[in-house]
Structure 1
């Protein structure tokens, strides 16, 4: 009988051993899938999450507030939510924390018809601005006006439901609207209504943008899972930055009705918001304390936020960039 070396036996046993089961993870988007969500689908398609031992399911969302609630209740492992919703939720007891920055600049904008004669924010005086009731951009509009010398009493607010604000501007019932740089600022010009955008962040009123959130229990009990998810997500966005066309195509495979040109414009708009002035020198995914502090200060002054928590109670840099290596 031929002898079999111990090394060969060990190799045979290793090959026969079942592979470790991947962690089943659910990730809740902040809204219906659109262009800037496609890097997540690119990472899923290319196996970046699988490489980190994660069996990922991505679900569309119904707003950042809902994502905070769902992750807080452990209905999803991770979620995508804007910083303001994280601050509001945590201040009311939601056990979540932001673990990775996706966009550190606010997407909010006051956007005016190009033919309305609005060249500076001061020019909005005497004009009508269409807005949906309760949207965060409207609540922070007084801050935008105050920091840019606009007399708020000279601006009329037309409150309309949902997409009605785009209709109001298209039909010239309002000269401007509360917009998102990655949303209405793209879609209205594509419908034949050119706009002039006044981004909040570019005009002195920045709030923390989109973040990856996790339940505090997950962070404490399974920090390695959080680290691996953040690592795969960073890899996904790095790939999307290099190959945006591939990112859009990955999104279309999951959502066939996604229009390529619009999705590309949304992706590029989101990429432009990834860094803030405070975070531009930080590694991908890390937070700048100033962005959170600015968000909290604005919410306390204009949105009646009640909290005594410090800014670093809402996020951690333990998993992104050098913190996650």
Structure 2
């Protein structure tokens, strides 16, 4: 009898031990900036390979409303962590000084802001936009940088006609010749043009970061109350995400499978190409290769804030880099190089 009781106690203890890790997991809802596309592969890789789970996190990944609008969701605590535009964060904090949302990992060392055109319009350098019609949705993240782009490239913007177009018709209007160029995210507009039947050789992408913009792009942002209560969870999410990016960079063909499992209607060939473009242009830039992913250069960030001030008049004092970004949750640099 005692032996049976002992076995029962041991079995019960074993069962309880097996349940502890699951109950100890910290739930984290993570908001992307947009849909489940090639650019979101690193997060799904980290999820599928158990990197988040190994950090004690029960992560749920949701699509988002865009790289600007989602910041309010993090500020409100609807999502403890999200992936949004750090330039928009500067404006958000100025308008909401009581919301101490900060970025904890720079993901896009270079933003995807671009001017996209077709070969027949002969737009090869920024000044070529003079005398042309530029299609730009008013809330577009790339168009938000237009004044900076104009100033840095000495464009006479009085000679550029801005056509306010909707997101759904932006690329169709360019393909049909109703506008000469458009603003957009490179990895979105480029592939949207391909899907409209425009030949690869005829699509021209002018990255704004190649023409004077020193701005950073999208970063991981956290709700301040959540970060204060769960610093280990935030650091763990960052570590796991870095592993997901490293794996995606090493084997994008395998990484894209994690996206396709969640978006079966997507074209795998296009999403793979989108992932490869974003890895090269946004995630793993020469600076990132030299210095590791996730951090910022304070001087560059200060210069970026000065550029933001060209497009936005701060009501309060201009933010400092430390107001927008903290490196407190980043692992050592040797763990951020790949």
TM-score by length of 1: 0.90
In terms of fraction of residues, the more helix-rich structure is 2
Aligned 1:70-85 pairs, distance under 5 A: 70-85=73-88
Tell me: CA distance 1:34–1:101, structure 2 relative to 1, closer, same or farther (3 Å): same
Aligned 1:243-282 pairs, distance under 5 A: 243-272=251-280, 273-275=282-284, 281-282=290-291
**Corresponding position of 1:293:** 302
- Determine the C-alpha separation between the residues in 2 that align with 1:148 and 1:236: 37
**Corresponding position of 1:283:** 292
- Determine the C-alpha separation between the residues in 2 that align with 1:266 and 1:142: 27
SS at match of 1:136: coil
Structure 2 unmatched ranges of 5 or more = 1-8
- Determine the C-alpha separation between the residues in 2 that align with 1:99 and 1:299: 20
Work out which of the residue numbers 25, 34, 37 in structure 1 matches 2:37: 34
Work out which of the residue numbers 71, 82, 89 in structure 1 matches 2:92: 89
SS at match of 1:140: helix
Task: Tell which deviates more after alignment, 133-142 or 201-210.
Answer: 133-142
- Determine the C-alpha separation between the residues in 2 that align with 1:277 and 1:192: 32
**Corresponding position of 1:188:** 193
Structure 1 unmatched ranges of 5 or more = 1-8
Aligned 1:174-213 pairs, distance under 5 A: 174-193=179-198, 194-213=202-221
- Determine the C-alpha separation between the residues in 2 that align with 1:119 and 1:174: 16
CA deviations over 1:147-179 (Å, ceiling 9, x no partner): 223221111111111122212211111111112
Please tell me whether the aligned partners of residues 106 and 206 of structure 1 are also in contact (alpha carbons under 8 angstroms). Answer: no
- Determine the C-alpha separation between the residues in 1 that align with 2:289 and 2:48: 29
- Determine the C-alpha separation between the residues in 2 that align with 1:284 and 1:142: 29
- Determine the C-alpha separation between the residues in 2 that align with 1:264 and 1:113: 23
Tell me: CA distance 1:116–1:66, structure 2 relative to 1, closer, same or farther (3 Å): closer
Tell me: CA distance 1:278–1:234, structure 2 relative to 1, closer, same or farther (3 Å): closer
SS at match of 1:232: helix
SS at match of 1:64: coil
Considering only aligned residues, what root-mean-square deviation do their CA atoms show, in Å?
A: 2.4
**Corresponding position of 2:158:** 153
Task: Tell which deviates more after alignment, 252-261 or 145-154.
Answer: 145-154
Residue 63 in structure 1 maps to residue 42 in structure 2: no
| Structure 1 position 291, deviation (Å) | 4.0
SS at match of 1:211: strand
TM-score by length of 2: 0.87
- Determine the C-alpha separation between the residues in 1 that align with 2:331 and 2:297: 12
Please tell me whether the aligned partners of residues 43 and 235 of structure 1 are also in contact (alpha carbons under 8 angstroms). Answer: yes
Q: Detail structure 1 runs of 4+ shifted over 3 Å in the superposition.
A: 12-16, 275-280
SS at match of 1:65: coil
- Determine the C-alpha separation between the residues in 2 that align with 1:30 and 1:275: 19
Please tell me whether the aligned partners of residues 138 and 178 of structure 1 are also in contact (alpha carbons under 8 angstroms). Answer: yes
